[in-house]
Amino acid sequence: SQTIHQWPATLVQPVGSPLSLECTVEGTSNPNLYWYRQAAGRGLQLLFYSVGIGQISSEVPQNLSASRPQDRQFILSSKKLLLSDSGFYLCAWNHQELFFGEGSRLTVL
């Protein structure tokens, strides 16, 4: 069966520091992968999606970037975090429907 994992689960970072969140999918090949963010008091917002290695599409302008170095690996990054980057980040993949990882809670201080 397919599984999706994210790490770290919780992260506290100072403003201006770099960020790297990882997501890995197992049990499938060439998945479509997504990064969503859930800000406090708001619904989930699609940030990036990828249909294959090296292929990244951005849905909203922001301070973050995404990369897909391997077929089943999706990374969310930032060179310098802003306070507004705080939130709950969810990685997902789709097969007909959308399946989510456990999420990573980022607090920028």
Residues that bind another protein (CB under 8 A): 32, 34, 36, 38, 41-46, 49, 51, 57, 59, 88, 90, 92-103
Q: Which is nearer to another protein, 43 or 69 (CB)?
A: 43
Task: Specify the amino acid at residue 33.
Answer: L
CB of 102 to another protein, least distance (A): 5
Q: Smallest gap, in angstroms, from Cβ of residue 80 to another protein?
A: 27
3-state DSSP helix/strand/coil percent for the chain, to nearest 5? 5, 60, 35
Could you tell me which of 91, 88, 87 has the C-alpha nearest to residue 101? 91
Q: Which of residues 92 and 106 has its CB atom nearest to another protein in the complex? A: 92
18-21-22 Cα angle (round to 5): 140
Shortest reach from residue 47's CB to another protein, in Å: 12
Residues listed for the chain = 109
CB of 98 to another protein, least distance (A): 5
| CB-nearer residue toward another protein: 15 or 94 | 94
8 Å CB contact between 5 and 24: yes
